[in-house]
Chains A and B, each alone.
Chain A
Amino acid sequence: MKIFRIHALICAGAQCLAAGGNGFEDALKDELKKHDLDEEVSLVETGCMGACQLGPLLVVYPEGVMYIKVKPEDAKEIVEEHFLKGRPVRRLMWKGEKAELPNLSEIPFFAKQTKIVLRNCGIINPEDIDEYIAQDGYEALSKALFEMTPQDVVQVMKDSGLRGRGGAGFPTGLKWELAFKQISDQKYIICNADEGDPGAYMDRSVLEGDPHSVLEGMAIAGYATGASKGYIYVRAEYPLAVKRLEVAIKQAKEAGLLGKNILGSSFSFDIELRMGAGAFVCGEETALINSIEGNRGEPKKKPPFPVVKGLFGKPTVINNVETLANVPAVIEKGSKFLRQFGTEKSPGTKVFALAGKVNITGLVEVPLGTPLRTIVFDIGGGVPEGHSFKAAQTGGPSGGVIPAKHLDVPMDYENLPALGTIMGSGGLIVMDEKSCMVDVAKFFLKFTVDESCGKCVPCREGTKQMLEILEHISNGKGEKGDIEKLEKMGNLIKLTSLCGLGQTAPNPVLSTIRYFRDEYEEHINNKSCPSNICKIEGGKNERKVAHRQTA
């Protein structure tokens, strides 16, 4: 084994790469070579570290110093000053409030999080199975195979209280139990990695940063339910996730952790990747099954539920990426583990993708039930100076907004629906006073109109009609009675659509009307957009170019 003096962890998550991480890494490698430091400094490409806004990120151990927004031209200084002379480059470090030169544990953004799902993200090299194993990876699978019966595993999952993190919050253990009880020659486990909600990218980061945790979760699910085959349905828009999954599956097979007779036991389990082709509705489980089978991704009627009759007509468990990444932690640490965090009905943590008008955007994992205020202000550092929090949007096109007066709402599966929104997959977009709620509603409805599969008339045509009304309102052509029409149509679409997409499509409109009815009225009655976003023809405030502050 090689001993290194310095470990430099460079974030190779998609967000940091998009911000120019590749260029920096190449420059750093060049500098290390120039100074003959290749043998002393170990450069590790990790998955997402979370503080995506400040990327590209570099963490240097043993000090635990975090460098932010590094550019190729910074590499020379980091190598010459820090690596050679031991003097961290202050100008590139995270600016601390209390500690002048904070290490990771002193930065509130990291210190206030609880990492279960993201336990390895940003720490290990996702393309090296040994690093996952060194973090106790595949320990849970081994424990399940040799110390537990499938019933034991199901019982632990049930007792753990884990609920599906894809949005619906269905108890995972119960789903597994239903599948376990089915008698069939073949059963399937599907990992739903078709993350399509605008504003959500936590599944992507788990797949890119810790793919083995998902593979291990699937294998455990297979053992518990009697399935020998798994599919991961992943968006084609995530090429990096696809690549890392391919590497991970190959390594796991070579190590005997997937395939025939895993770890020498009688249990066999194989995983195959299936790529999507750009259809939001395929995140709906019956549509997803259709898509894996190679058909149009149209939803089917339930019942029969997939656990009874799913992929190729066989019993199928569909779990989301984040849910599966929880599984090894639960099996390894026992049924009480998740209950140390979160609430009674929603134990454990949730990863949120914090985006929009907030100082530090990125991935945030907190116990369920954490107040919205803590996430936005304590962890995310609040909205940029000079602006005020207006609302947060959760649940993407199926969700709604949370206005400032409800900032203290505990984020869990019970409290969010009471406010007319949902947890969804964890997208959390913060809006300031410059965001127009009619515009936001219009935005999501456009999305639904584009993504509706067209099977049900209320969803296909109804959302179009609603969008037309919203466009009139935002153009200054709204009429009295429009709001009521939107409410009536919205409720009708919810009641008469077949799948989750249609049933929730009107939510962004209904929710913004609920909390910002006055804004709609202002557009209709006074032909003005209070946030200066809508282009109102001949209106009082024809669009001025809104000043956008870069956070």
Chain B
Amino acid sequence: MKERSLIDKLHEVQNGSKENYISKSEALKVSKRSKTPLAEIYGVLTFYTLFSEKPRGKHIIRVCRSLSCHMADANKIIGKLKETLGINVGETTFDKEFTLEESSCLGMCSVSPALMIDDIPFGNVEIDEIPEIIKKVKGGEL
């Protein structure tokens, strides 16, 4: 099977979107091109947590909620991020820079609490360093 799967195509569309999401018009295009009903496209799109139907920020922050992170006070990390960014989980900042999300496990259990911003992993995160991390990511230093 040389053909890419629907999931591959959706990844591609989302990665190519400046706002990190799959718009209805893009979904329609996929539907037409692959001769797949739109309902089926949305059936897949909404099943997977990494796909988004609504516009997101330039950077996606994913905070790990695994048990080891939970025991290492991941809640406080999320609290500080909410405070620093002024948004709740699932929301995007006004300047469209950041979207805050949670992940069930990022697989960094030995350096908990952990988070990822786009593809960059952060471990042993301390509350005080969060504003600095955000500043650096925003300034393109990381």
Q: A356-B68, A548-B73 are in contact. Are A362 and B110 (CB under 8 A)?
A: yes
Q: Smallest CB-CB separation from B115: which chain A residue?
A: A18
Is B86's beta carbon under 8 Å from chain A?
A: no
Query: How many B residues have CB within 8 A of the partner chain?
Result: 41
**Interchain nearest-CB distance for A259 vs B (Å):** 14
Q: Which residues of B lie under 8 Å from residue A355 when comparing CB positions? A: 68, 109-110, 112
User: Per-position contact with B for A420-453: 1 when CB-CB < 8 Å, else 0?
Assistant: 0000000101010001000010011001001101
A274 to B111, CA, bound (A): 27
**Interchain nearest-CB distance for A484 vs B (Å):** 26
A363 to B109, CA, bound (A): 10
Q: Which residues of A lie under 8 Å from residue B85 when comparing CB positions? A: none
A277 to B6, CA, bound (A): 11
Q: Which residues of A lie under 8 Å from residue B104 when comparing CB positions? A: 196, 198, 280, 447, 450-451
CB distance B121 to A198 under 8 Å?
no
Is A237's beta carbon under 8 Å from chain B?
A: yes
CB distance A15 to B108 under 8 Å?
yes
**Interchain nearest-CB distance for A520 vs B (Å):** 18
Is B38's beta carbon under 8 Å from chain A?
A: no
A448 to B8, CA, bound (A): 26
Q: Which residues of B lie under 8 Å from residue A196 when comparing CB positions? A: 104-105
Is A326's beta carbon under 8 Å from chain B?
A: no
Question: Quick check: which of A26-34, A143-151, A287-295 contacts chain B, the rest being far away?
Answer: A287-295
Q: Smallest CB-CB separation from A446: which chain B residue?
A: B65
Q: A278-B49, A294-B8 are in contact. Are A198 and B1 (CB under 8 A)?
A: no
Is A17's beta carbon under 8 Å from chain B?
A: yes
CB distance A14 to B67 under 8 Å?
no
User: Per-position contact with B for A337-364: 1 when CB-CB < 8 Å, else 0?
Assistant: 0000000000000000111110001110
A-B contact list, 14 entries, CB within 8 Å: A15-B108, A15-B121, A15-B123, A18-B114, A18-B123, A19-B111, A198-B104, A198-B105, A237-B107, A239-B119, A240-B121, A279-B49, A297-B47, A356-B109
| A contact residues vs B (CB 8 Å cutoff) | 14-15, 17-19, 52-53, 55, 195-201, 204, 235-240, 274-280, 291-297, 312, 353-357, 361-363, 393, 427, 429, 431, 435, 440, 443-444, 447, 450-451, 453, 548
| B contact residues vs A (CB 8 Å cutoff) | 1, 5-11, 43-44, 47-51, 62, 65-68, 70-73, 103-112, 114, 116, 119, 121-124
